Amino acid sequence: MASDKPVLDISNLHAGIDDTPILRGIELEIPAGEIHAIMGRNGSGKTTTANIIMGHPDFEVTDGGVQLDGEDLLEMEPWERARAGVFLSFQYPQAVPGLQVGNFLRKSVAAIRGEDEAKGTEFRKKLKNAMTELDIDRSFLGRYVNDGFSGGEKKRFEILQLMLLQPKLAILDETDSGLDIDGIRTVAKGINAAVRGTDSGALIITHYSRILEHVQPDRVHVLIKGRIVKSGGPELALELEERGYEWLEEEANPPNGNMEG
């Protein structure tokens, strides 16, 4: 059911924390079926953007709007956004000791996709296939959520959730960091499977171009100091790899601008 509305529509988004502005007028549109990338240095506001789309309670939106398929996300609680179809693969996934992976997956699928999707052989088959695709061992299901996971296991687990939850919008925050090249290939496979050929959209946040060799983005956006200063095709990622970010920084800081925002 393709809708003509973009999956994600961010307009003039200003947000911050404790009166400190972090995002300063973000504009971003992801049409259905497209994968976009946001690149930028540490501290440029990438994770904050992801957190605000998901509804992290610590941040305050001071201006602008965020819509999912034409629906106002900012009015919703985080779990309502998840149920509406937003998924965030966390840069730092949290451990929940004592909560078993298998149990957690079932509960999350039930919460987001409905009870019926979370039981029976159909669910088990989906789970098994996704785990095979991501090279995850069965014993994983008995472990506790992110508890004692290696960096790579955490990232694979995020992608496993992505594959089972089938969101409208997948945001992947630094999913490539801490992964070796095989790991990157594996999670890229998962991301492609979840988004390509569907009406979903994806936002890949990274500060390397490596993952983008395996998940071809339709658009690449450069975030500097809370603002998107340049957008382009996949070739922009390669250009950034070669030239770094300095050449773009002037655009973010007009000559008499305030460095600290």
Partner 1 sequence: MAAKEAREAVGEYKAGWHDPENATIRFDFGLSEQVVRDISALKNEPDWMTEIRVKAFHHFENRPMPTWGNMSMLEEIDFDSICYYLRSSDATEKDWEDVPENIRDTFDKLGIPEAEQKWLSGVTAQYESEAVYHSIREDLEQQGVIFLDMDSGLKEYPELVKKWFCSVVPYQDNKFSALNTAVWSGGSFIYVPKGVHVEMPVQAYFRINAKNMGQFERTLIIADEGSSIHYVEGCTAPTYSTDSLHSAVVELIALPGAHIRYSTVQNWSANVYNLVTKRGIAHENAKIEWVDGNIGSKLTMKYPAVILKGEGSHAEVISVAYSGKGQHQDAGAKIHHLASNTTSKILSKSISKDGGRGSYRGMVSVSPKAENCKLNVVCDALILDDGSRSDTYPTMEVANPSARCEHEASVSKVSDEQVFYLMSRGHSEEEALAMIVNGFFEPFTRELPMEYAVELNKLMALEMEGSIG
Binding of partner 1 at residue 205 (CB under 8 A)? no
| Sequence-separated (6 or more) residues with CB below 8 Å from residue 62 | 14, 15, 16, 21
Q: At its nearest, how many Å lie between ligand ADP and the CB of residue 261? A: 9
Using CB under 6 A, pick the residue from 15, 24, 28, 46 that binds ligand ADP: 46
Looking at beta carbons, which residue is closest to Mg ion?
Answer: 47
In whole angstroms, give the CA distance from residue 19 to residue 28. 23
By CB under 6 A, the count of residues binding ligand ADP is 11
**Using the rule CB under 8 A, is 161 a contact of partner 1?**
yes
Do the Cβ atoms of 141 and 100 come closer than 8 Å?
A: yes
- Pick the piece of the chain touching ligand ADP (CB under 6 A) from 3-11, 36-44, 65-73, 119-127: 36-44
With CB under 5 A as the contact rule, the residue among 10, 22, 44, 47 that binds Mg ion is 47
Interactions with partner 1, residue window 106-125 (CB under 8 A): 107-108, 111-112
Residue 48 interface partner, choices partner 1, Mg ion, ligand ADP, none, CB cut-off 5-8 Å depending on type: ligand ADP
58 binds ligand ADP (CB under 6 A): yes
- 49, 73, 67: which is closest to 204 by C-alpha? 49
Is 40 a binding residue for ligand ADP by CB under 6 A? The answer is yes
Contact 84, 71 (CB under 8 A): yes
CB-based contact 226:16 (threshold 8 Å): no
Using CA atoms, how far apart are residues 177 and 155, in angstroms rounded to an integer? 9
Cβ–Cβ < 8 Å for 93, 146: yes
User: Smallest distance from the beta carbon of 4 to ligand ADP, in angstroms?
Assistant: 31
Stretch that binds Mg ion, among 43-51, 92-100, 145-153, 246-254 (CB under 5 A): 43-51
